[in-house]
Amino acid sequence: MPVQAANFTRPLLAVAMVGFSAYCAIAQKAPVPTRVRGTIESVSGDTMQIKSRSGEDVKLRIASDLRVSGIVKISLADIKTGSFIGATTVPGPDGSQNAVEVHVFPESMRGTGEGSRPYDLKPNSSMTNATVAESVVGNDGHTLLIKYKDGEKKVFVSADTPVVTYVPGEKSDLQPGAKIIAFVKPLEDGSLEATRISVGRDGLTPPM
């Protein structure tokens, strides 16, 4: 290689290597969470300290327009044809979709997040918000045909699957010891702000 060409190429290679290193550093950053699941340890002013289900300490700011919902347990029999539900499912060995949890939306929340998408509760889990078109009762649970605007899915709900619904909640429900799932957004300073929180009532852990 001529000397002049070599002298010109080396700076370009150095710039390329720096750029590639920066790209790798960005790619390796942990994804910003959109949900925090855990137990409230303390509340002070507009901040909460959470012990996550994985054991991490997480500090959340409380949004001024925070929405709070209570989560209460209901029975499998409360899932009716026409109910609008959210079902977290994982694929079974035979290709079926097995429910990990089901939450029944009150009528005022019908249509919330309608559709099916990957979910972060368990590996390979998905969340489907849809209307129950058909419910077949079996010896060990129910098989639901649920329909949403872009498709449909058959979901098996065993007798042991947690089934819950939403009830009105208040900020006063955010007490130490309460089990929550917080929907959060990152702020410019890198902190997390809770915009919506679902609180388990009577010691319940929100299963979604």
pLDDT of 4 > 60? The answer is no
User: Which residue did the predictor score with more confidence, 129 or 6?
Assistant: 129
Residue 97 has, within 13 A of its CA and on its CB side, a CA count of 19
Q: Mean pLDDT of all residues in the chain?
A: 87
Question: pTM of whole model > 0.95?
Answer: no
Number of domains within the chain: 3
Same domain, 123 and 96: yes
List the CATH number of the domain containing 179: 2.40.50.140
pLDDT digits (tens, 9 = 90+) for 59-108: 999 999 999 999 999 999 999 999 999 999 999 988 899 999 999 999 99
Q: Which residues of 160-180 are buried (b: 16+ CB within 10 A; e: fewer)?
A: ebbbbbbeebeeebbeeebbb
pLDDT digits (tens, 9 = 90+) for 106-158: 999 999 999 999 999 999 999 999 999 999 998 889 999 999 998 999 999 99
**Is residue 208 in a domain?**
no
pLDDT of 21 > 60? The answer is no
**Is residue 85 in a domain?**
yes
| Intra-chain end-to-end CA distance of the chain, in Å | 62
User: Which residue did the predictor score with more confidence, 11 or 116?
Assistant: 116
pLDDT at 34: 87
Same domain, 41 and 92: no
pLDDT of 19 > 50? The answer is no
What residue numbers bound the domain in which 125 lies? 72-165
Same domain, 84 and 134: yes
pLDDT at 8: 41
List phi, psi (to 5°) of 4: -65, -40
45's tokens: 């002013």
Same domain, 77 and 1: no
Angle at 104 between CA 49 and CA 140, to 5 degrees: 110
Same domain, 50 and 84: no
Start-end of H helices in the chain: 3-27
